[in-house]
Amino acid sequence: AFWPLAAIFAAALLVVGRRMVRQMTEPLQAMEQAAERMAEGRYEADIPVRSDDEIGRLAEAFNQMADAIAKEDERKREFLANVSHELRTPLSYMKGYSEALLAGLAKTKEEEKAYLRLIHRETERMERLVRDLLDLARLEGQSVPLERAPVAFAQVIEDVIATYEPIAAQKRIELACELDYDIIVNGDADRLEQVVRNLLDNAIRYTPEGGVVTVRLSRLSEAEGELVVQDTGKGIPKDQLPFLGQRFFRVDRARTRKEGGTGLGLAIVKQIVSLHDGVIWFDSDLGRGMTVFVRLPLVREEE
């Protein structure tokens, strides 16, 4: 009686053992195959997770890693596509007008000057785009550390407003400001100036003649201050607000290109604000202008 029972027990152990080995090896084989596909640039992975042990957790982690790599790859592809698209327009203008000049198609000196002005305009646009791209890459990679020091933020804002007053006057736009001069931010003065410049530049650019741009700096608490930049431009629809600050996002692509925007200004602003441990958000309705809110931590008096 012993040997038949032993044979049955051994057979059962063999079946269970094979099942356990298969349960362990199948995910490992799937991971090996997925790793080979990833080496070829295909990042999809759907490793079966059939247990809650080390193998199961490894398979789950592998799936998460593959998903993260796939998303990053898609983000890079989208970024490169956007850069190519943004560069294509000024390059085509420059090529077309330079060929026209070389072919002698400009009949008068005035036409030649007009072509040269267009080439110069597109060159400046490319220069701004490349500069903004490099700036954003440095900020995102934190390769340029912030030079933190106590900054009188109101003075920074006032200096920026002074540089924009002639532009606003030319468009007959009123620049109004309400600034709390006691607000001190522990930050990088140059980067904070860049935030104000980008926000003010956008506000003036999209505000029609006779409009108003208002800049307010106020203290919300001992620990937090708020910068508000408000314009009376055409605004944007509510459903577009979540996309503000994404690279190359424009509500009106054709109009923004004509006005010289690169679609990167708000992305740079968001990155700088984030590096200062602050937050930024937007409020707008189509036809009633845009309001940008920036909240930053302040230097406390006891500090």
- Per-residue pLDDT of 248-268, as tens digits, reads 776 665 555 555 566 688 888
Q: What is the 8-class DSSP label of residue 99?
A: H
CA distance from start to end of the chain = 87
Residues 140 and 209 in one domain: no
The whole domain housing 286 covers: 149-297
Residue where one domain finishes, among candidates 110, 144, 178:
144
Residue where one domain finishes, among candidates 144, 163, 178:
144
pLDDT at 104: 85
pLDDT at 285: 80
Domain annotation covers residue 76: yes
Give φ, ψ of 95 to 5 degrees.
-65, -45
The total of structural domains in the chain comes to: 2
Residues 196 and 291 in one domain: yes
Residues 257 and 228 in one domain: yes
Question: Of 24-38, 44-58, 104-118, 169-183, which one has max mean pLDDT?
Answer: 169-183
Q: What is the 8-class DSSP label of residue 142?
A: T
**Closest of 245, 251, 237, 248 to residue 283, by C-alpha:** 237
Domain annotation covers residue 288: yes
Residues 135 and 161 in one domain: no
Residues 159 and 241 in one domain: yes
Residues 84 and 190 in one domain: no
Q: Can you give the pTM of this predicted structure? A: 0.66
Residues 157 and 92 in one domain: no
